[in-house]
Amino acid sequence: MRTLVVLAHPDLAASRVNAALAEAARPVDGVTLHDLYAAYPDLLVDVEREQRLLLEHDRIVLQFPFYWYSAPPLLKKWLDEVFLRGFAYGSNGTSLRGKALRVATTAGASEEVYRPDGFNRFTVTELLRPFDATANITGMAYEEPFVVHGTHGLDDAALAAHQERYRAALAAGMPRERDLALA
């Protein structure tokens, strides 16, 4: 399985958590780490390049810090410009069908705050429903979001545990030796 991690952090140099997750992802077999803000500092997305990258991978992971209950703006622009009718949806838009889509996000607030009876009223998974709907219309299989809560209070040991959890999540779904032998 080839996994494309589309990383969208507007200031990766100042990032602690996403930078650590990206470092955990980079060496995983089959993973391509694609830093959107580094690729497009002028925010001008190369649509053909992005569509080619999507075609070359089986699973797409959208990794970003949770900003205003959503993703940073370049990821939205990337979706608007790359997931075109005739490519991602519509009667001839079948290029993403059968691939997997997963969100990996980091939220400043703790999990308790993201509960029906908590301050933010909704879980992060609920707030990520637009990505679930995007997977649906494009025929992608939506995987359970990978969420790191409480980034503001995360100590080094907890961060290391999340790195390991992320590495394992990305490594999962790699072809087993038996599948390789049968290929």
Ligand X SMILES: Cc1cc2nc3c(=O)[nH]c(=O)nc-3n(C[C@H](O)[C@H](O)[C@H](O)COP(=O)(O)O)c2cc1C
- Asked if residue 66 binds ligand X (CB under 6 A), the reply is yes
Tell me how far apart the alpha carbons of residues 103 and 35 are, in angstroms, rounded to a whole number: 15
- Asked if residue 37 binds ligand X (CB under 6 A), the reply is no
- Asked if residue 63 binds ligand X (CB under 6 A), the reply is no
Q: Which of 24, 51, 61, 65 binds ligand X (CB under 6 A)?
A: 65
The piece of 30-38, 60-68, 75-83, 165-173 that touches ligand X (CB under 6 A) is 60-68
Report how many residues bind ligand X under the rule CB under 6 A: 15
- Asked if residue 76 binds ligand X (CB under 6 A), the reply is no
Tell me how far apart the alpha carbons of residues 142 and 97 are, in angstroms, rounded to a whole number: 11
Point out which residues bind ligand X (CB under 6 A): 9, 15-18, 65-69, 106-109, 151
